């Protein structure tokens, strides 16, 4: 029985609901902002403990979601994202413990100066405040986002997908039970109590109540959030990433980089979607053949299509397509300048890479490519907060304001200026 | 004759106009992003030189604006803000030279790490891209904003007030003439060529074309921009700043701080608007008397009104009022906790200060007050980028994202991640 998903309760005043959640979150945020690192870590360890203790309850709730998902015709991929088992739940609890062990960004000094009049200035990191997370079918986001929010001193308001409603509630209840034993306010982690879509609209409009919205999910969700939100949004829409193989690339590096960047995992935002090969590069066919052999469909411009019968001709739309699949578009370009022009025209400004042994070419690429992450002789699949040593990430941002690239604890903070004087008045 | 101000040309397609300006600004921004510090500084010095060379033309244009302003019934304060003379114009040129001498934030490394797999990571500052500045009657903003934008590697689109249209055009023309001699693109600094208000609306909606909008002007302008903009906005709406005089304050510091924080300049956003005095503070009357003697109207709560016949009773609205005038509201509060509660309820989160000799009280105030700038034993009038050693400021931000407090060159930048490998693929 999953009546609630089928017939959500009518929501008469979504703005009032969000004002209530937001007001309570703001109150909790005040307490969290001055919580010590030890308090936050202890609360997270208690939450992780409850996720383990309440495993049977959580897996039971997930089984109800899976049953409804089967009945509702979710795809196999969606069901896989939704599904929990003991191992996956254990990994979720471990991830919460891992966040508890991360360095606390709050209170960290960014810089300091003493003015000629003796006034001491410093900028110190403080939490953003209230963070709204809107996500789809993966129930692990409930625990991940709550943990990252809490460790960075923020209150979070979570809104997961309808298909995971029972799983999310069970995970949230376990997390909250852990919090309750820790002395930090229960309102620090809230789950929107209705699946009515109007609540999402109200959350996106909640200027002053919510400081930032982070959507986690597919392009449809992110686009809708970016379009509707009046609250600032931290997100990326696309990962149309390029690997440029320069004429001065070492083929022994270029070939494995091309295969790894495209094929290691095709469904992640850091996967390469377009490979650009310098006309001066000696072995383009080997790149094409290696990709085909790895199971990749290759769509090429005329020059690439002429290399191999395995290459399909690319259409104009291919150069702006995020396949998230075992498909790649490949074009030959006129050297570094040709690559830069193509990337400028088609990149989604997430991650772009050059393969070359020419240091000057690498430096020019790193300088001129205007993307959140720019790489030299490395696979675009490294575009990940964990790989960057940030610990877990809340997302990857391709906007230009506030935080860019992988966003982890530091990206969930802002700063304030502390001014210490001894009675100075301004002349 | 100032026909254009009286009858602006009809603007048939404001979005197309802004798309044109924005596209050209984006192109210029690409060049600016890789301009060297020396190139940018030389361009600014050339612009400053042209402002001096073209002084007669600029002052003539300003005289036409002043004439129209008189005829149009501008207030004396507005006319004073509009008015240029040789000294003021010389100061504008000097300010451009001063920006040329500031440290360039672009290319500065924020941090660096080497991962266990040998990959080198660094975050380096890069320009935001295209900055829109919307301002009112002060023509100096045309040069100031252009200079700060250029030095931080950004293209700027300027939109000044109708009353200063001739002054702004003359200053912009001089600035552009300087740029033209420097080899940097003229499109780096553009002035919206029409005073039609529809162009402002289009600029505020120009997501993707403009990276950030900075309004410079009164509360009405800022509120309108914040309300209409779909592009991120960096601004402050109010400066409802508090000076809290703790029971453990040294009266020899508290009295001059209170007078300076309120009265040094009453019209700036860093001026104190409310003074909170601990009931335990021994000499509240001396504070009131000193303010009255300095020419300030004092509005007090019952306890303060009982101290002196010169105190008017405060109304409920006084605690949320930015007077920007020689008026102050004063309340007695129950110690630090009472002050924190009042500030939390009424501060606009710009600048708040405590006066005390009690280090623990100061530390708690600095930690718990959630404002962009929090001070101990210093006048709130120091809330200024110049006083903070940042050089000129483009504005003060009270939002929580991206930059907070005084925003100068660094606040006009973002960062990108540079990843340097030697062929690493992700396992």
B157-190 pLDDT per residue, tens: 999 999 999 999 999 999 999 999 999 999 999 9
Minimum-distance CB partner of A368 among B34, B121, B372: B34
**How many whole angstroms separate alpha carbon B49 and alpha carbon B174?**
9
Q: How confident is the model at residue B236, as a pLDDT? A: 86
Read off the pLDDT of residues B190-200 as tens digits, 9 standing for 90 and up. Answer: 999 998 999 99
Mean pLDDT of A405-412: 96
Judged against a pLDDT cut of 70, whether residue B247 lies above it is answered with yes
Contact between A297 and A312 under an 8 Å Cβ cutoff? The reply is yes
Q: Kindly identify which residue of chain A lies nearest to residue B399, measuring between CA atoms.
A: A211
* pLDDT score of A99 more than 60: yes
- Specify the pLDDT at position A6: 47
CB-based contact B416 A371, cutoff 8 Å: yes
What DSSP string describes B307-337? T-TTEEEPPGGGGG----SSEEEEEEESHHH
Contact B423 A256 (CB under 8 A): yes
Strands (E), B169-271: 189-191, 212-216, 241-245
pLDDT score at A1? 39
Nearest CA in chain A to B36: A367
Q: Which fold has domain A13-229+408-417?
A: Aldehyde Dehydrogenase; Chain A, domain 1 (3.40.605)
Residue pointed to by tokens 């939100």:
A229
Q: What is the average pLDDT across B42-49?
A: 98
* pLDDT higher than threshold 90 for residue B86: yes
Give the pLDDT of residue A2: 43
Residue ranges in A34-139 assigned as alpha helix (H): 37-53, 55-71, 76-82, 86-100
d(CA A220, CA A206): 21
With an 8 Å Cβ cutoff, are A416 and B372 in contact? yes
- The answer to whether the CB atoms of A126 and B368 lie below 8 A apart is no
C-alpha distances out from residue B24 to B155, B188, B291, B336, Å: 9, 8, 53, 54
Count each helix (H run) and each strand (E run) in chain A, helices first: 15, 16
Q: Which of A337, A419, A427 to mutate to test the interface with B (most CBs of B within 10 A)?
A: A419
pLDDT at A8: 52
Question: How do residues A255-310 score in pLDDT, each as one tens digit?
Answer: 999 999 999 999 999 999 999 999 999 999 999 999 999 999 999 999 999 999 99
Structure tokens at A27: 């109150």
Which tokens in the block code for residue A4?
A: 């609630």
Proportion of chain A above pLDDT 70, given as a percent: 98
Task: Quote the pTM value.
Answer: 0.94
Partner-chain residue, chosen from A366, A368, A406, that has the shortest CB–CB distance to B418:
A366
Model ipTM over 0.85: yes
Residues of chain A contacting B404 with CB distance shorter than 8 Å: 414-417
CB contact under 8 A, A387 and B421: no
Q: Which long-range contacts (CB under 8 A, 24 or more apart) does B61-64 make?
A: B61/B166, B61/B167, B61/B169, B61/B170, B62/B139, B62/B166, B62/B167, B62/B170, B64/B2, B64/B166
CA nearest to B47, candidates B190, B143, B140, B191: B143
Confidence grade of residue B392 (pLDDT, cut at 50, 70, 90): confident
Fold of the B11-234+408-417 domain: Aldehyde Dehydrogenase; Chain A, domain 1 (3.40.605)
Q: Establish how many alpha carbons lie within 13 A of residue B112's alpha carbon, considering only the half-sphere containing its beta carbon.
A: 7
The arithmetic mean of pLDDT across residues A199-210, rounded, is 94
Give the per-residue pLDDT at B12.
Answer: 84
Q: By mean pLDDT, which of A243-252, B229-238, B355-364 is the weakest?
A: B229-238
Report how far Cα B61 is from the mean position of its chain's Cα atoms: 26
A vs B, Cβ pairs < 8 A, gives: 194
The whole-number pLDDT of residue B234 equals 93
pLDDT class for A10, splitting at 50, 70, 90? low
Mutation target vs A (from B27, B376, B400, B402; most A CBs, 10 A cutoff):
B400
Residue tagged 């709550």 (tokens)? A146
Same fold, B11-234+408-417 and B241-387: no
Q: Which of B416, B422, B427 to mutate to test the interface with A (most CBs of A within 10 A)?
A: B416
Looking at residue A73, its pLDDT comes to 94
Domain boundaries, chain A: 13-229+408-417, 241-387
Please indicate whether, in this complex, the C-beta atoms of B377 and A424 are within 8 angstroms of each other. yes
pLDDT band of residue A114 (cuts 50, 70, 90) is very high
Does A375 contact B232 at a Cβ distance shorter than 8 Å?
A: no
Q: Band of the pLDDT at A9, cuts 50, 70, 90?
A: low
pLDDT confidence of residue B11 = 77
Residue B10 pLDDT: 65
Question: Is residue B285 within 8 Å of B202, Cβ to Cβ?
Answer: no
A399 torsion bin: left (phi>0), alpha (psi -120 to 50), beta (else): beta
Q: For the structural domain made of B241-387, what CATH number should be given? A: 3.40.309.10
Q: Three-state SS for A276? A: strand
What's the DSSP call for residue A335? Answer: H
pLDDT score for A12: 84
Q: Which residues of B touch A348 (CB under 8 A)?
A: none
Instruction: Please provide the distance, in angstroms rounded to a whole number, between the alpha carbons at the two ends of chain A.
Output: 73
């Amino acid at each position: 029985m999953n009546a609630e998903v089928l017939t959500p309760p009518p929501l008469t005043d979504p703005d009032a609901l969000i004002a209530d959640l937001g007001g309570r979150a703001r109150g909790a945020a005040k307490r969290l902002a001055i919580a010590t690192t030890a308090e936050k870590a202890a609360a997270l360890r208690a939450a992780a403990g409850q996720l383990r203790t309440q495993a049977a309850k959580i897996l039971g709730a997930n089984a109800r979601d899976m049953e409804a998902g089967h009945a509702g015709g979710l795809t196999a991929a969606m069901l896989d994202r939704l599904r929990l088992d003991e191992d996956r739940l254990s990994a979720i609890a471990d991830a919460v413990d891992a966040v508890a062990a991360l360095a606390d960004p709050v209170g960290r000094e960014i810089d300091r100066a003493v003015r000629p009049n003796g006034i001491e200035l410093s900028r110190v990191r403080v939490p953003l405040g209230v963070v709204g997370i809107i996500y789809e079918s993966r129930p692990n986001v409930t625990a991940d986002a709550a943990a990252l929010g809490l460790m960075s001193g923020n209150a979070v308001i979570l809104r997961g997908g309808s298909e995971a409603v029972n799983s999310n509630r069970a995970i949230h209840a376990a997390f909250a039970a852990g919090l309750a034993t820790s002395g930090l306010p229960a309102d620090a982690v809230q789950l929107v109590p209705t699946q009515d879509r109007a609540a999402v609209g109200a959350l996106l409009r909640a200027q002053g109540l919510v400081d930032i919205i982070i959507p986690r999910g597919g392009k449809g969700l992110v686009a809708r959030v970016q379009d509707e939100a009046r609250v600032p949004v931290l997100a990326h829409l696309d990962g149309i990433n390029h690997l440029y193989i320069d004429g001065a690339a070492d083929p022994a590096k270029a070939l494995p980089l091309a295969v790894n960047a495209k094929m290691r995992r095709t469904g992640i935002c850091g996967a390469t979607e377009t490979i650009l090969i310098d006309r001066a590069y000696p072995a383009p066919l080997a790149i094409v053949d290696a990709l085909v052999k790895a199971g990749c469909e290759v769509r090429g411009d005329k020059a690439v299509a002429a290399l191999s019968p395995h290459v399909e001709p690319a259409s104009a739309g291919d150069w702006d397509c995020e396949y998230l699949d075992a498909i790649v578009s490949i074009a030959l370009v006129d050297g570094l300048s040709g690559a830069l022009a193509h990337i400028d025209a088609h990149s989604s400004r997430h991650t772009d890479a050059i393969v070359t042994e020419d240091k000057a070419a690498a430096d020019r690429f790193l300088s001129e490519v205007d993307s959140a992450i720019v790489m030299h002789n490395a696979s675009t699949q490294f575009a990940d907060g964990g790989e960057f040593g940030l610990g877990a990430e809340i997302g990857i941002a391709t906007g230009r304001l506030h935080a860019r690239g992988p966003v982890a604890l530091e990206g969930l903070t802002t700063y304030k200026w502390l001014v210490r004087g001894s009675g100075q008045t301004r002349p």
